[in-house]
Amino acid sequence: DVKVTQSSRYLVKRTGEKVFLECVQDMDHENMFWYRQDPGLGLRLIYFSYDVKMKEKGDIPEGYSVSREKKERFSLILESASTNQTSMYLCASSFEGYEQYFGPGTRLTVT
């Protein structure tokens, strides 16, 4: 079974802190994704990576950056956390354009 793991299920940070969310997949997928999920808005793509060190902006990249140094690991970075970044963050991976496998999510609260 494909497994996508995320570093934390719950995280509480203060405004202005630098926040790292990590995602690891074990199926050698070249594609990895970071989404943000808010009630009534569905899943919105923050960033996408199709290979090591390669990244593309999604629909809402402002305030976020990403890093992919190894194929299995994709990190989301909030350079200076703000309260409007309080949300559920989901990581996913896929082989080409086929089904995406999601991690359990990280609920981030910024106070």
Partner 1 sequence: QQPVQSPQAVILREGEDAVINCSSSKALYSVHWYRQKHGEAPIFLMILLKGGEQKGHDKISASFNEKKQQSSLYLTASQLSYSGTYFCGTGVMEYGNKLVFGAGTILRVKS
Contact residues toward partner 1 (CB under 8 A) are: 4, 31, 33, 35, 40-45, 48, 50, 56, 58-59, 90, 94, 96-105
Least Å from the CB of residue 52 to partner 1: 16
Least Å from the CB of residue 66 to partner 1: 14
Closer residue to partner 1 (CB): 63 or 105: 105
Q: What are phi and psi of 23, to 5 degrees?
A: -135, 135
* Residue spans of beta strands (DSSP E) within 26-105: 31-38, 42-51, 54-57, 64-70, 73-78, 87-94, 101-102
Closer residue to partner 1 (CB): 49 or 81: 49
Please state, in angstroms and rounded to a whole number, the distance separating the CA atoms of residues 63 and 81. 8
Please state, in angstroms and rounded to a whole number, the distance separating the CA atoms of residues 27 and 93. 9
Closer residue to partner 1 (CB): 81 or 106: 106
Least Å from the CB of residue 77 to partner 1: 20
